[in-house]
Structure 1
Amino acid sequence: MAKRTASEPTDGAVGRRQPCPCGSGKRYKACHGKSGGAADVMVTRPFEGLAAECELVALREFVPSATATLPVRSGHPVTLATVLPMAAAALRRSDDEAFVGLQVQTKSGDVSRDLARAVEWVQNAEPGEGLPAVGPETAEAGVPTRLQDLVEADTPLDVQLHEDFSWWMPGDTEATGDVAMSLERANAAIHPTDRLRGVGSAYWVDAGEKAHVRWVRPEPEEKLLAALARLSVRGELALDEDSRYAGSFRAHGLLVPVWDVDRDKHAREYDGPVAAMGERLAGALTSLDDEQLDAAERRAREGLRGRQITVR
């Protein structure tokens, strides 16, 4: 019988010279199969392939208090949350409801992998147990599971916004000790936030001195920048006469355009202007398939590029 070489896989395993299943494009031995594994691999767009990608980015980066049912394929139902008591990664509440937190410190370069670990942990936890952070002790042997492996990829999130964090506690239960302190701090830090209607992943945020509209967009960055530049040259980049385009930031591989808006206006007054902006953007994106940017639009694109920052 021929000897098996070190690069050949055993049944159900991945060969060290085969492409890594995580999709990084590297060989398994240079990616999840090396010492340190996924901790050494930075996944720039961790939620790619999920219909909920834009909402996941919004909930992780700037929505203060929100929950959504995670469309897990099997096992105990899981509620996705922006923040949990004491910034825990996961919590199986005393009433048996399971929560996984999004706004947590990551332990690897792949947020999707860390979230999957938290989901698997909380589905097997006992009521009353919490997971402070995802670490090596929560890892399974072999190729790491990612969120894309656990949820229905085509199912969007039904996001529920909350004015505070009272949903942390089941029923009429009163918070005590460290949880009470964490609840008080979290409530004090909330900026009033509303989800704009008629479009996806757009949020109005009252940040104190200013109010903003932040809109997570799914398009490739260069194409979106080109479309925004086209609108800028046409004088169509503002939402209304009381707003201005402030710039954009990158988060988890996506671009998030930001507009400064009038604080005296209610969030509902921006539903229409944002929907109209969506139509203008769609038209500009479509036109780019046939018409390249002219000189003025290219200059505008470089100006917009100068107003970008990278958050994650």
Structure 2
Amino acid sequence: MSKKTKNRPRPAAAGTDGPNPRQPCPCGSGKRYKACHGAGDDVIVLRPFEGLAAECDLVALREFVPSGLAPLTLSAEAKKLAGSRTARLATVLPGASAALIRPNGDALVGLQVQTRSGDISADLGRALRWVLTAEPGEVLPVAGASVGDGPVRLQDLLVADAALDVTLHADFAWWLPDEGEPSAEAAAALEHANNVIMPTEVVRADGVRGAYWVDAGSKAHLRWVRPEPEDQLVAALARLQVNDELDLGTGSRYVGSFRAHGLLVPVWDLDQEMHVKEWSAPAEAFAKRLTETLASLEEQPPTERERRARDSLAGRQVTLR
């Protein structure tokens, strides 16, 4: 006789509503969804920074920018907690800490950290609340700690329409205090971090936000976090491709995109011999073309050729290395 088997729930198939249990968890932990947030009732916020003008830069700083700092514009509610204290966002802090207060009172919140819940904005908001009231010299190891009652999401603690003034660094020398020699442990951590850093610069131009030039060693890339809904953006990119306007000019090639925190990030290969500043004008011109193309889709639906191009672009996903 054949053995009876218990009925077991099958994983959701790709394309159904909700994350695929076998795919990486959207929280960014690196675990499969079924072994992470899929194992409980925690709700994952797929677009945690939505509503903030700095959304695209926040995604970039959390996902692929190696060494950077940005001062925060605190909301009225956050200022009540902070008093005269200010705070800055950092891509990575020593020991991957969630937040710390330097002896001189400098308050830093780390973006590239392990979070506790499915809402990255809430975890980072709790770290920000902590850092606004902690004592100099204290360190918050893991995001998720909170101070008292009140708002905890970044959307509640920051001015929504304030952009981020991002300053990128070639290394992590800013980890070290200004006074005294670093300990052997701190020096070793700094050396290790500097050895794996990829040179990165902000592409600055009118109408351009969330665009970063990255030297990945064998190639240079432009990674551009876009705020538009994915279906609209891909349709516009398809129209540009059909019109041979998808590149950024000579020395560039569109290679695909990846998703990060609810946004699509198009990627171009770039000529490594060209300086980052030489891509400002092409990026500005592309931003204008893209804006015009997005507007044209409202009056002129995609053609059959553009729909085929859209399907092709939707399948061109790139992997960060």
Shorter-normalised TM range: 0.7 to 0.9
Residues 239 and 306, structure 2, Cα contact 8 Å, conserved in 1: yes
Q: CA deviation at 1:141?
A: 7.5
Q: Which residue of 1 aligns with 2:204?
A: 197
User: 2:269 is paired with a residue of what secondary structure?
Assistant: strand
Q: CA deviation at 1:164?
A: 1.0
Corresponding position: 1:154 with 2:156: no
Corresponding position: 1:286 with 2:295: yes
- The one-letter amino acid of 1:160's match is T
Q: CA deviation at 1:65?
A: 0.6
Q: Which residue of 1 aligns with 2:243?
A: 234
TM-score where L is the length of structure 1? 0.83
CA distance in 2, matches of 1:94, 1:181: 21
Residues 211 and 223, structure 2, Cα contact 8 Å, conserved in 1: yes
Q: CA deviation at 1:140?
A: 6.0
Q: Which residue of 1 aligns with 2:109?
A: 100
CA distance in 2, matches of 1:144, 1:151: 11
CA distance in 2, matches of 1:267, 1:174: 34
Residues 201 and 214, structure 2, Cα contact 8 Å, conserved in 1: yes
- The one-letter amino acid of 1:213's match is L
CA distance in 1, matches of 2:258, 2:185: 34
**Unaligned segments of structure 2, at least 5 residues:** 1-39
With over 3 angstroms needed to count, the CA separation of the structure-2 counterparts of 1:301 and 1:173, relative to structure 1, is farther
With over 3 angstroms needed to count, the CA separation of the structure-2 counterparts of 1:53 and 1:39, relative to structure 1, is farther
- The one-letter amino acid of 1:153's match is A
Q: Which residue of 1 aligns with 2:172?
A: 165
CA distance in 1, matches of 2:286, 2:180: 44
CA distance in 1, matches of 2:172, 2:112: 14
**Unaligned segments of structure 1, at least 5 residues:** 1-37
Q: CA deviation at 1:177?
A: 3.5
With over 3 angstroms needed to count, the CA separation of the structure-2 counterparts of 1:183 and 1:238, relative to structure 1, is same
Q: Which residue of 2 aligns with 1:81?
A: 90
Q: CA deviation at 1:130?
A: 0.7
Q: Which residue of 2 aligns with 1:35?
A: none
Residues 65 and 161, structure 1, Cα contact 8 Å, conserved in 2: yes
CA distance in 1, matches of 2:41, 2:121: 12
Q: CA deviation at 1:124?
A: 1.8
Residues 96 and 113, structure 2, Cα contact 8 Å, conserved in 1: yes
With over 3 angstroms needed to count, the CA separation of the structure-2 counterparts of 1:204 and 1:119, relative to structure 1, is same
Q: 1:257 aligns with which of 266, 269, 285?
A: 266
With over 3 angstroms needed to count, the CA separation of the structure-2 counterparts of 1:182 and 1:39, relative to structure 1, is farther
Residues 92 and 122, structure 1, Cα contact 8 Å, conserved in 2: yes
Residues 95 and 170, structure 1, Cα contact 8 Å, conserved in 2: no
CA distance in 2, matches of 1:60, 1:290: 36
User: 1:288 is paired with a residue of what secondary structure?
Assistant: helix
Q: Which residue of 1 aligns with 2:233?
A: 224
Residues 114 and 142, structure 2, Cα contact 8 Å, conserved in 1: yes
Aligned CA RMSD, in angstroms, stands at 1.9
Q: Which residue of 1 aligns with 2:124?
A: 115
Corresponding position: 1:302 with 2:311: yes
Task: Report the identity percentage.
Answer: 58
Q: 1:187 aligns with which of 184, 194, 210?
A: 194
**Deviates further, 46-55 or 162-171:** 162-171
Q: CA deviation at 1:167?
A: 1.2
Q: Which residue of 2 aligns with 1:65?
A: 67
- The one-letter amino acid of 1:49's match is G
Q: CA deviation at 1:144?
A: 6.3
Q: Which residue of 1 aligns with 2:100?
A: 91
Q: CA deviation at 1:174?
A: 3.0
Question: CA offsets, 1:150-169, max 9 Å, x none?
Answer: 11111111111111111122
CA distance in 2, matches of 1:39, 1:69: 34
Question: CA offsets, 1:112-157, max 9 Å, x none?
Answer: 000011011111211111111124xx24677862111111111111
Q: Which residue of 2 aligns with 1:42?
A: 44
- The one-letter amino acid of 1:46's match is P
- The one-letter amino acid of 2:271's match is D
Residues 191 and 206, structure 1, Cα contact 8 Å, conserved in 2: yes
User: 1:96 is paired with a residue of what secondary structure?
Assistant: coil
Residues 39 and 107, structure 1, Cα contact 8 Å, conserved in 2: no
- The one-letter amino acid of 1:246's match is V
